[in-house]
Structure 1
């Protein structure tokens, strides 16, 4: 079976526009290959992320990692972290580990591997280059209004109505 298919569009270009702010990382360089630490079979560690310039009125953050290039119609969600307090503006590497101590009332929802944790890049061998969108969503509410059993699709649906701004850094990987 061949996995040849067109490259999917940037999924965030398909959403209503919101103000952009800045996210940086000691571990992810925008549009460059991920380090081994962020690969499922190597380190499987969520990257360091730091952000600034969120819109006024931001009350919390949601952090996600999405691979739109997975060979599924819905891509693949690698990480869903919600309800980070507004005063938090960075996450250390490894913050996405299952059972990690998170600030305030923050918690992780299930990724598409059915884990409440970060899952590193794991595209099929020989597939096209995959893009991993690490996104910090500035949220207009103290809480997104979901619980840890919410799917990434439900989290995304809630973000469609509660996002005040978005910061994106993208890594790539090909197996």
Structure 2
């Protein structure tokens, strides 16, 4: 093989290597993470999410939720308290749901743009409320069709306020939260109809 032909082969070989490495690099960027939940797409920048302790003087963690706060009672939200809200938090989000519902996780209450306070009072509207799975805006208490269900009261501290209108749904709320969660915590209570 003469020198000129060898040079051409070398150029093609180098071009091929660059093309292949470019493909691999492109492949690693991937597609955007699904916006299904606030957990999705947090990325490396939010790996240091702090913990918020969530508790209530109405029921203990893993304990029974009193009838007062359910569809069998006065159907008002229980009082909640928080410890460990970061100083840099601009707002809180509260999501209450039942993962034991027959068809899918059932959303009972979503509230956003809550002031970063240490307490949410019983029977209150602490922020902007969204649409629950009862197709109503506001709190809808535990109301299992049968058996004992778990109800999670999840709080998220965000580094900003959310630009969402009252009555927005959970998917829109979770989409707005992505990349802005700086701390989170939860309290779980149980309830079964008598």
Instruction: Please tell me whether residue 139 in structure 1 is matched to residue 158 in structure 2.
Output: yes
State how far apart, in whole Å, the 1-side matches of 2:179 and 2:162 are: 10
Question: What pairs with 1:11-160 in structure 2 (closer than 5 Å)?
Answer: 18-73=49-104, 75-86=105-116, 88-96=117-125, 102=126, 106-125=127-146, 127=147, 129-141=148-160, 143-160=161-178
Structure 2: gaps (5+ residues) = 1-36
Taking the aligned partners of 1:76 and 1:159, their CA distance within structure 2 comes to 19
Question: So what's the TM-score if we normalise by structure 1?
Answer: 0.78
Compare the two structures and name the one with the higher helix fraction: 2
Q: Which consecutive residues of structure 1, in runs of 5 or more, have no partner in the other structure?
A: 1-11, 97-101
Identify the residue that residue 99 of structure 1 maps to in structure 2. none
TM-score, scaled to structure 2: 0.71
Contact 1:81/1:108 (CA < 8 Å) preserved in 2? Answer: yes
In the TM superposition, residue 31 of structure 1 has moved relative to its aligned partner by 0.6
- Are the equivalent residues in 2 in contact too, given 1:39–1:120 (CA < 8 A)? yes
Structure exhibiting the larger radius of gyration computed from Cα positions: 2
Number of residue pairs matched by the alignment: 150
Q: Match of 1:161, SS?
A: coil
For the residue of structure 1 that corresponds to 2:51, the secondary structure is coil
- In 2, Cα distance between the equivalents of 1:161 and 1:70? 28
Moved over 6 A (4+): none
